[in-house]
């Protein structure tokens, strides 16, 4: 079980000590600097100050999105989280304090309500956050024309990187689903790219381990998008690597 410490309330070392006080052992995860891995999973109500927003449950691989945003996004800019639910990455971006405003979209209104509940628990007010229950690909329906400094696209995918948590994926997914998902991912990348400022940063992410959704998707995007630059090598995390879920990241810059 991995948690993300909300640095607005203290350091990761502080929270590790707080866990020790209630008899819970946890270790640091070097590449996920806000993370602690508990030796024994527990219910969230056993986590000190969970209700007060000091900590959230989130896999370390998902937390790496925050590291990419810190490394490449403009401090003080506007962030679009295009497929935000369940809200862990939205919350982490706000906790990092790197953005003046975060716009979070999800086409599932019920799931977006849960994002709002999470942000309230973590102590965020409405002044820096906009939540919209919309289809992110229908840009003309929700975008006001003000370009974003950064776009986080945690795209709908096959979920093959999280089968250890959701084994039913193997039973429910069909071959035809993959082609539909790959087409949707490409559509989202193309349309959301238009909302990004020149010089802006897009992080493309999936919880998939399939090349068609990951490396091949990014190569195809770069071939058809003349102003897109891959900032560093893509990162494919395999399930179980350092006890993380399977995840993929591609950091992209919109050239001026």
Give the strand pairing for 26-28 and 35-38. antiparallel
* Catalytic entry in 26, 112, 207, 244: 207
Known binding-site residue numbers: 83-89, 106, 135, 154
Known binding-site residue numbers for S-adenosyl-L-methionine: 83-89, 106, 135, 154
Looking at residue 241, the DSSP 8-state letter turns out to be G
Looking at residue 62, the DSSP 8-state letter turns out to be H
In whole angstroms, give the CA distance from residue 55 to residue 21: 16
Pull the structure tokens for residue 60.
């370390």
End-to-end CA distance of the chain: 42
Q: Is 140 helix (H, G, I), strand (E, B) or coil?
A: helix
- Using CB atoms within 10 A of its CB, is residue 175 exposed (0-12), middle (13-18) or buried (19+)? exposed
Q: Is 207 a catalytic residue?
A: yes
Residues annotated as part of the active site:
207
């Amino acid at each position: 079980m991995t948690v993300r410490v909300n640095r607005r309330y203290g350091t990761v070392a502080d929270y590790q000590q707080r866990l020790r006080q209630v008899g819970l052992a946890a270790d640091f995860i070097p590449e996920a600097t806000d993370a602690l891995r508990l030796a024994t999973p527990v219910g969230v109500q056993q986590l000190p100050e969970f209700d007060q927003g000091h900590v959230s449950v989130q896999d370390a691989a998902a937390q790496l999105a925050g590291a990419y945003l810190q490394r490449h996004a403009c401090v003080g800019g506007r962030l679009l989280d295009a497929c935000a639910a369940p809200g862990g990455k939205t919350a982490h971006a706000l906790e990092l304090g790197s953005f003046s405003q975060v716009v979070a979209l999800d086409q599932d209104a019920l799931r977006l309500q849960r994002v709002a509940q999470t942000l309230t628990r973590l102590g965020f007010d409405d002044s820096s956050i906009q939540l919209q229950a919309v289809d992110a690909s229908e840009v003309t329906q929700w975008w006001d024309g003000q370009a974003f400094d950064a776009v986080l696209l945690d795209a709908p995918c096959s979920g093959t990187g999280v089968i250890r948590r959701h084994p039913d994926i193997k039973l429910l997914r069909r071959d035809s689903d993959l082609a539909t998902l790959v087409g949707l991912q490409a559509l989202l990348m193309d349309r959301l790219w238009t909302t990004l400022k020149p010089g802006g940063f897009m992080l493309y992410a999936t919880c998939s381990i399939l090349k068609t959704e990951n490396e091949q998707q990014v190569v195809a995007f770069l071939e058809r998008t003349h102003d897109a630059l891959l900032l560093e090598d893509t990162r494919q995390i395999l399930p179980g690597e350092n006890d993380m879920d399977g995840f993929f990241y591609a950091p992209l810059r919109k050239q001026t």
